[in-house]
Amino acid sequence: MAGELDVIRLKVTRAEKHFEEFKAAVGLGPDERKLDLASVTVNSADNTLLYHNHKPTPPPETRIILGDSIHQLRAALDHLVCVLAMRTNARNVCEDSKLQFPIVKTEPDFRSDWRVSKGVYEQLLGKAELKEIERCQPYALAPQKPEGHPLYVLTKLDNIDKHRLVLVVEQAVRLSGAYVRPGDEILPYDSGKQTLTGGKYLVQLTPPERPYGLQLHPAVAYIVFAETDGLCDGRSIFPLFREMAAAVKDTIARFDQFF
């Protein structure tokens, strides 16, 4: 059965591979498909920089790829519960007993799961194993804000049909470098991040007088913007996915002791 844990970890690896495919589809990473995201022009009238955003949304198929990566992560946890049950039960026990790895926000929600209240998990998995599952719950790991825990966010996102998952692009530009003050003193300059989002595809940046070595730094951050009741609206996908993957890996590692 220890080999089954390797199979579960392969699911996580597959999820990460899907995510690399997602990054490539939106124009990031070593396998990126180049997208014409923006251009910069100089307004000769007042010497300001005009930054134009040409592609405000990623291609539609990226939703499917991202949905696949999220589903693979969540499926790894369900597979873990099945492997625990199959140590002492027939292989069809998962389907017959509708087993899955519970991820809930509150302790009453956990207790009200019929597989918990009727003793199904304890009988099929073991008392210590069930206790470890409870220790992995968002309300136990993040009591101040369980709905923000990566495992809870993962479960909710997996429940959203991937066709409903909407992605929008947040683009930001920053102008940095230096400028020359009277007396030829050189001081650093930074315009701060100027965000282009919500249908705004043009930003005007005014360089300082007597600029010195200015650089324009465009940045693109894809964010989840779905019907999630505020769960992760506006959160950047990249760190969020890394947090969810790390939480799944940590959860699997907690069960090494049972094999």
In a domain, 223, yes or no: no
Ranges of the chain whose pLDDT falls below 70? 1-2, 27-58, 161-172, 195-205, 207, 217-229
pLDDT of residue 198: 45
Count of the separate structural domains present in the chain: 1
In a domain, 55, yes or no: no
Angstrom distance (rounded) from CA 68 to CA 52: 32
In a domain, 189, yes or no: no
pLDDT of residue 203: 58
pLDDT of residue 36: 47
Structure tokens at 117: 């209240």
Angstrom distance (rounded) from CA 110 to CA 251: 17
**Which DSSP symbol is given to 113?**
S
In a domain, 118, yes or no: yes
In a domain, 199, yes or no: no
In a domain, 129, yes or no: yes
pLDDT of residue 41: 61
Structure tokens at 78: 């369900």
Residues spanned by the domain of 129: 2-34+61-159+239-258
pLDDT of residue 74: 96
Cα-trace Rg, the chain: 24
- Reported in sequence order, the residue ranges of the chain that DSSP labels E, i.e. its strands, are 38-43, 48-53, 167-181, 185-190, 194-196, 202-205, 211-224
pLDDT of residue 179: 79
In a domain, 120, yes or no: yes
Cβ 201 vs Cβ 51: under 8 Å: no
In a domain, 148, yes or no: yes
Angstrom distance (rounded) from CA 176 to CA 207: 9
